[in-house]
Amino acid sequence: MAGMLEPVSRMVNQLSKLPGVGQKTAQRLAYHVLAMPEDQVRELAVALYNGKKQVHYCPVCGDYTDVDPCRICADKGRDTSVVCVVRDPRDVAALERMRDYNGLYHVLHGVISPMDGVGPDDIRIKELMARLQEGTVREVILATNPDIEGEATASYITRLVRPLGIKVTRIAHGVPVGGELEYTDEVTLSQAFQGRREV
């Protein structure tokens, strides 16, 4: 940025790499940081760096963790016969907020996407198959997103898992609770019809 102090433009530059943060927002954030007390800025910087350093993938499920294995994998109270397969750790966080599911997870860290050059070997499918070989899992819930890549990944995994005699299920697609039929797209409506249940 023209006329900006070098340390400030370095802040702006780094901040603008964050998602949803453009040059203008990065500038506003940088000036805010300059106006913050020094110890608060230190706390922010340390939280970011230490967070990144302490948090890594769980060797079992691939979710973010700061202990090995992660708290969910280590939890004796959880049902080890069910594994829910998701694309990334954010999905685990979303499903955990529902407080309804008591099984385990498997994070793929991506979905199959030939367009982006991501094949089955680039995501944690091998690790999933290794877990299933242990014989404790009786159901695999496929909870990848209902988009092209998510569906392709789900059917790829289905083809691998079904021969093992393990039940494979897919989360339901339909009209979101609180949503309106009028504003729901045709594909979702069609899925909602196909997935209808007797009340």
- Interface ranges with a copy of itself (CB under 8 A): 2-8, 10-11, 13-15, 17-20, 25, 27-34, 36, 38, 40-55, 64-66, 89-90, 93, 96-97
Tell me how far apart the alpha carbons of residues 157 and 69 are, in angstroms, rounded to a whole number.
24
Question: Do 80 and 87 contact (CB within 8 A), yes or no?
Answer: no
**Residue 168, phi then psi, degrees to nearest 5:** -120, 125
Closest contact distance (angstroms) between CB of 130 and a copy of itself is 24
Q: Residue type at 34?
A: L
Q: How far apart are CA 43 and CA 54, in angstroms?
A: 15
Decide whether 42 or 126 has the Cβ nearer to a copy of itself: 42
Instruction: Considering the complex, state which of residue 36 and residue 74 has its C-beta at the smaller distance from a copy of itself.
Output: 36
Using CA atoms, how far apart are residues 91 and 68, in angstroms rounded to an integer? 20
Q: Nearer Cβ to a copy of itself, position 15 or 104?
A: 15
Between 55 and 129, name the residue whose CB sits nearer to a copy of itself.
55
Least distance to a copy of itself, CB of residue 187, Å = 26
CB of 199 to a copy of itself, least distance (A): 32
Strand-pairing partners, residue 15, are none
